Structure 1
Amino acid sequence: MADNRRDHIADAAIRALAAGGMRGFTHRAVDRAAGLAEGSTSYYFRTREALILAVLARMAELDMTDVGELPTLGGTVGLDELTELVTALALRWLGEGRDRTLARYELSLESTRRPELRAKMAEYGSRFRLMAETLLTAAGTPEPRRRAHALLACFDGVVYHQLAGVGGNPMDEADLRAACRDMLATALRPS
């Protein structure tokens, strides 16, 4: 039951962080988002730091679940399969995972001022870098490590622009798929 309560609070904390940013991210705001009595969040997560770490761990768990729900690829992977995988992930993080994506960007900016937070985010992010590198290796990409890093940066940029609305008109699903295909084609291009 305690784990369920901790997950419930961490999920509410993600929503509170997405709604109020770091400035509005308080134990009281999380209590309200969770529909719990005041003081409940601080009972489970005494400090703001502990609450932030719980949010990071929960986001990493949910992100891996998102990726795990994507079809597994065996053998050689082509541009079409990769495009579908990456597009599905982008759609999920812009749709049902929107609050988590907003919270991730809030924490990313906060990590520029907090080295311990940056280290923890890098640890969780390394899973995605490794998966991207593995997929690019399976696709026969030269320099998969370097290109995986660039691919993830491009992916983050597309998602950020769509989420924040700073990239002009929002992309529909076909445009998003085309953007994912373009960035993957670049990553797969022979040297």
Structure 2
Amino acid sequence: MPSRQEQLLDAAITVLGSQGIRQLTHRAVDAAAGLPAGSASNYFRTRDALVNAIIERFAERERASWEALAGMVTPRTPEELAEVLAAYVRRAVGPDRVVTIARYGIFLEAALRPESREQLTASAREIRRWGAEWLRSVGAPDPGQACELLLDQMDGLILHNLAYPDLVVDLEARLTAAVRGVFDVCGAD
């Protein structure tokens, strides 16, 4: 069971992903968490402290999600990898839409707050390490480079699907083509 502080931060992520950064206030977080007024400000005295704590909590949650996925799935072919990536994208823009929108909001905040980047960078490195292992298991010639290219492609697909979903069609075909293209590019050296 999450601690009260984690409850508040998870509620803050929900506020950020459903209402935007401008609506992220201590009062909104208290309401979203179903806790008494003043609860968030007891833990996070300033809005900056709240935002920094959200970034840290988000990085923890993202690492845990990828650890769980990496532990459950081991694709053996480029097609299986594309299926896993497509399932991840569908979940990110479907059931996890609010969290995904919060993720992009957090990225923008980190771009404006250099002191907040360290936690996100550490999380990104772990995700890239797991992704490179997956790509190694399906025979990618340069798993590290392939992982970076595929994660960039996925971020683009997710962002486009959030912004204008009617233009994103046949996700599996696009990701299969991306996986094959990455293998070609990374093997061309």
The TM tier, using the shorter chain, reads 0.7 to 0.9
The C-alpha deviation readout for 1:97-139, integer Å capped at 9, x for no partner, is 1111111101111222211122322122111111111111222
Number of residue pairs matched by the alignment: 184
Which residue in 2 is equivalent to 1:73? 74
3-state secondary structure, aligned to 1:187: helix
For structure 1, list consecutive stretches of 5 or more residues without a partner in the other structure.
none
Contact kept, 8 Å, 1:31 with 1:39, in 2: the verdict is: yes
CA distance in 2, matches of 1:25, 1:122: 23
Measured after TM superposition, the shift of residue 170 of structure 1 is 4.7
Which residue in 1 is equivalent to 2:173? 178
Aligned pairs for 1:13-24 within 5 A: 13-24=12-23
CA distance in 1, matches of 2:137, 2:7: 37
Whichever structure has more helix as a proportion of its residues is 2
Q: Which 4+ residue blocks in structure 1 deviate beyond 6 angstroms? A: none
For structure 2, list consecutive stretches of 5 or more residues without a partner in the other structure.
none
3-state secondary structure, aligned to 1:169: helix
Deviates more, 1:110-119 or 1:61-70: 61-70
The C-alpha deviation readout for 1:121-160, integer Å capped at 9, x for no partner, is 2122111111111111222212221221111111100000
3-state secondary structure, aligned to 2:21: coil
Amino acid in the other structure paired with 2:150: L
TM-score normalised according to structure 1 size: 0.85
TM-score normalised according to structure 2 size: 0.86
Pick closer, same or farther for the CA change 1:54–1:110 going to 2, 3 Å. closer
**Which of 169, 176, 188 does residue 166 from structure 2 map onto?**
169
Pick closer, same or farther for the CA change 1:31–1:170 going to 2, 3 Å. farther
Give me the identity figure in percent. 35
Give the RMSD, CA atoms, in angstroms: 2.1
Is 2:94 aligned against 1:95? yes
3-state secondary structure, aligned to 2:166: coil
Aligned pairs for 1:40-79 within 5 A: 40-67=39-66, 68-69=68-69, 71-73=72-74, 77-79=76-78
Contact kept, 8 Å, 1:136 with 1:188, in 2: the verdict is: no
Amino acid in the other structure paired with 2:171: L
